[in-house]
């Protein structure tokens, strides 16, 4: 067992469960966007694994683009302040945009992104998230069109999700042991 995997308290979703759910979402998107070529917009870095697998599961032409924001810093809790670090490379006016997120909990970050993208007059704008943590939702009006899994109010890592820039590479989604979270050493 790798050192990173030894830090895991519980595996919530294994590789096969994630792959099956991503395929299901890909079929839904392919059906809903047939005869339209959506632009899949991912937020770096956490959603990259999900976006990559999702783009292969979508059976229709689709483009991808990336944004980068910060709302966590090195902390585990959101600061409430969102900063845009990298904007889209393509114009989205008149495009069908699907915002692809790794996890939505309070909804503040996703709400910020929706407002930012909506101001650019896309033909449509919908949200797809791999993980939904509704117990922490502050922004109740957030409409999530596609969701992979609902998760408990626990900090999760793996499949692109990190803690202090570690654990993204794990092929599953799990929770960290409490002692790992409590011993927050310097970020890697």
**Would you please indicate which residues are annotated as catalytic (active-site) residues?**
105
- 124: which DSSP letter? E
118's tokens: 């909506």
End-to-end Cα distance, the chain: 20
**Contacts for 75-84: CB closer than 8 Å, 24+ residues apart:** 76/155, 76/163, 76/181, 78/105, 78/106, 78/108, 78/109, 80/108, 82/108, 82/109, 82/112, 84/116
Give, in degrees to the nearest 5, the angle at Cα 49 between 46 and 52: 130
**How many whole angstroms separate alpha carbon 156 and alpha carbon 99?**
21
State the Cα–Cα distance between residues 56 and 40, nearest whole angstrom.
Answer: 12
């Amino acid at each position: 067992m790798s050192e990173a995997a030894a830090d895991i308290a519980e595996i919530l979703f294994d590789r096969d469960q994630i792959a099956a759910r991503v395929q299901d979402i890909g079929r839904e998107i392919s059906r809903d966007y047939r005869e339209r070529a959506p632009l899949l917009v991912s937020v770096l870095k956490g959603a990259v694994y999900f976006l990559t697998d999702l783009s292969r599961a979508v059976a229709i032409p689709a483009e991808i683009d990336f944004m980068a924001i910060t709302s966590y810093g090195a902390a585990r809790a959101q600061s409430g302040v969102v900063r845009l670090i990298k904007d889209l490379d393509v114009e989205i006016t008149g495009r069908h945009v699907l915002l692809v997120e790794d996890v939505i909990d309070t909804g503040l970050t996703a709400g910020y992104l929706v407002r930012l993208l909506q101001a650019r007059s896309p033909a449509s704008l919908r949200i797809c998230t791999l993980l939904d943590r509704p117990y922490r939702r502050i922004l109740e009006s957030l409409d999530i069109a596609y969701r992979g899994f609902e998760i408990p109010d626990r900090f999760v890592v793996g499949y692109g999700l990190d803690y202090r820039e570690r654990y993204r590479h794990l092929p599953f989604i799990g929770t960290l042991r409490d002692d790992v979270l409590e011993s927050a050493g310097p970020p890697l």
